Amino acid sequence: MKFDKELESHYLKGHEKYLRHISVDCVIFGFHQNDLKVLLLKTKYDGRWALPGGFILKNEHIDTAAQRILKERTGLDEIFLEQFYVFGDPDRSTKKINKQFLKNVGLSVTDSWMFERFITIGFYALVDFTKVTPAPDNISDACEWFSIYQLPEMILDHQHIFQEALENLRMQLNFHPVGFNLLGKKFTMPELQKLYETILGKKLDRRNFQRKILATGILKRLDETKKGVAHKAPFYYKFDLRNYKKALEAGMHSFE
Amino acid sequence: MKFDKELESHYLKGHEKYLRHISVDCVIFGFHQNDLKVLLLKTKYDGRWALPGGFILKNEHIDTAAQRILKERTGLDEIFLEQFYVFGDPDRSTKKINKQFLKNVGLSVTDSWMFERFITIGFYALVDFTKVTPAPDNISDACEWFSIYQLPEMILDHQHIFQEALENLRMQLNFHPVGFNLLGKKFTMPELQKLYETILGKKLDRRNFQRKILATGILKRLDETKKGVAHKAPFYYKFDLRNYKKALEAGMHSFE
C-alpha cells in the first residue's frame, strides 16, 4: 500500500528531510460568537486525539513550519500565530507511541530518528471556526473542533500544551487586539466584550471593561449605531491600528 | 594542548553527548540601584562578544540546561529565569563562525555537528550584579558586565536576541514582581519605582506609579518608615506573595 510505504520512508529517512529532535505543535483556537473551540486530529493507529503538528524542513524557518501546518489543517494563512513555549522535558518521549503506531500498521522498523527525543515548540492561533474546513493529515482519521470545556483524551503531553496555550492567549488579551481578525471591520462594545468573556471564560463588568479597553486608545468610535436593536442602539467601533502600533512601540506598559 | 584536544572532541563527538540542532542562549540582566547591565563573554578566537550559551545534554530538561549555564557563568541558581523566544531562522547559521574558530586555533575538522543548522532557545534572567563573580567558559577570554546602552559588537544574531529579551523583560513587569530577588525583604516606594524606571529606561510619574502598583494588590505596607531620610520618611513595603499567587491564578488580567 502506498500509504504504508510513505510511512515507512518517513521513519527510515525522514531525518534527511527534517531537523532531528524538534517538532512543532499548534493549538488552533476557533472563536465564533460565544464559543471557543480547539482543533484536534484523531490519530489513525491510536484512536486518541492530538494537536496538529509536524516537523521542520532542513531549510525552513520554524515560524514558516507552523504556518505551513496551520494552512494544511485549516486552509488559512497569514493569521495571528504566536510561539508561546518550548516543551523540553526529556521524559516527553515519543518512542513508545511511535512503536505502537508501527506495530498497529504492521511495519517493522528497528531504528528511527522518530524514536529519539523530541522537544516541541508550541504555537497558538486564533481563527473564526466558521471560515475553516478542517482537513486531517495523513496519519489522522478525522480533524474536528472541540469545545475547550469538553476535550477528548489526548496523546503524549498534548493536554498540557493546550492548557499552556490557553493561559498564554488569555494573558495576551492585555497587549494585543487578538480579536482583530474575528470581529469584522466594525463591531459594538457588547460584541467585543463577548469576545473577551468567551476567551477568558468568565463574565466581565460592563462599565469596567468599557473604561479599560477605551483607555488603551486602540479603539475608535464610529458615528454610526447598530440598527434593529431592541434597547439603546450601541455605537460601532473599529480598531485604530495606528494608535495600536504606537502603543506597542511605546511599550504599552500599564505602569506608564 | 589539553584544551585543543577537548575542543576537537567537542566538534567530532559532541553530538553523542548533546542534542543536535538545538542550543540555549541566556540573556543575564544585572540590576543594582540605577543600573541595568548584561553579562557577555569575549570569544577566544573571534574577539567579539557573545551571550552565555550552551547545548542540551541528551537526557537534560531544556530549563535545566539554562540553569546550568547560568550557574556556571554567575555562581547563582534558583533565580528568576524565563524562556522568552525560539530563534529559528535557517540563515542564523553557525557554520561560518565555527570554521573560523577552528582555523584560528589551527584545528582541521572537515565534518561536524557544529556545522549544521542550530535553532536557539532564548532565556533571560535578572540578578543583582553585585552578588555575581562572572566566570568565563572554556571558549572565552573574559566574562563582563556591559551597560545595556553601551554594548560591544556581538557575534551571530546575539544583538537581536538581547533586544528581544529586553522587550520581554519590560513586558513581564506588568505581570510578575520581577524585582522580588533584587530589592531585599523590604523596600520603599521610591526604591521600587527606581527599579521599574531603570528596567523600562524612562521616568515614570510618581503618583501614577504608586496608584497602579498598589492596585495590583501584590504589595503590603509595613508599619515602619525609612530612617535618616532628609524629607518625609517613606514607608517600607514588602511583596505579599499570597496575594501575588492568588492574582496569578485568577489570571491577573487588567480587564477584570
- Test B61 with A21 for CB contact under 8 angstroms: no
**How many Cβ atoms are within 10 Å of A17's Cβ, its own excluded?**
12
Provide the angle, in degrees to the nearest 10, between the axes of the packed helices B158-172 and B189-200: 150
Chain centroid to Cα B159, Å, comes to 13
Position A255 scores a pLDDT of 44
Answer with the residue of higher pLDDT: B200 or A172: B200
Phi, psi (deg, nearest 5) at residue A49: -105, 160
Instruction: For residue A93, give the chain B residue with the closest CA.
Output: B59
Position A78 scores a pLDDT of 66
- Test A90 with B60 for CB contact under 8 angstroms: yes
Position B254 scores a pLDDT of 47
ipTM of predicted complex: 0.86
Distance CA A33, CA A54 (A): 30
Position A23 scores a pLDDT of 96
- Test A86 with B88 for CB contact under 8 angstroms: no
- Test A61 with B209 for CB contact under 8 angstroms: no
Question: For chain B, how are helix, strand and coil distributed in percent, rounded to 5?
Answer: 40, 30, 35
> Which residue among B60, B86, B200 places its CB closest to the CB of A62?
B86
Chain A (16-35) residues lying within 8 Å, Cβ to Cβ, of chain B: 19-22
Q: Is B71 on the interface with A (CB under 8 A)?
A: no
List chain B residues with CB under 8 Å of A85. 83
- Test A251 with B22 for CB contact under 8 angstroms: no
Nearest one of A218, A222, A225, A209 to A242, comparing CA atoms: A218
Q: Is A178 on the interface with B (CB under 8 A)?
A: no
> Which residue among A59, A90, A251 places its CB closest to the CB of B200?
A251
Q: Is A121 on the interface with B (CB under 8 A)?
A: yes
Q: Is the pLDDT of residue B253 over 50?
A: no
Position A117 scores a pLDDT of 94
Q: Is B201 on the interface with A (CB under 8 A)?
A: no
Q: Is the pLDDT of residue A86 over 90?
A: yes
- Test B255 with A20 for CB contact under 8 angstroms: no
Q: Is B200 on the interface with A (CB under 8 A)?
A: yes
User: Would you place residue A233 in the very low, low, confident or very high pLDDT band (cuts 50, 70, 90)?
Assistant: confident
Q: Is the pLDDT of residue B227 over 90?
A: no
- Test A213 with B255 for CB contact under 8 angstroms: yes
Q: Is the pLDDT of residue A253 over 50?
A: no
Q: Is A196 on the interface with B (CB under 8 A)?
A: yes
pLDDT digits 0-9 by tens, B172-222: 776 666 776 788 788 999 999 999 999 989 899 999 889 888 887 888 999
User: pTM for this one?
Assistant: 0.89
Q: Are A20 and A125 contacting, i.e. CB atoms less than 8 angstroms apart?
A: no
List chain B residues with CB under 8 Å of A253. 170-171, 173-174, 200
Q: Is B195 on the interface with A (CB under 8 A)?
A: no
pLDDT digits 0-9 by tens, B18-41: 999 999 999 999 998 789 999 999
Contacts of B72 (CB under 8 A, 6+ apart): B52, B135, B137
> Chain B closest CA to A118's CA: distance in Å?
9
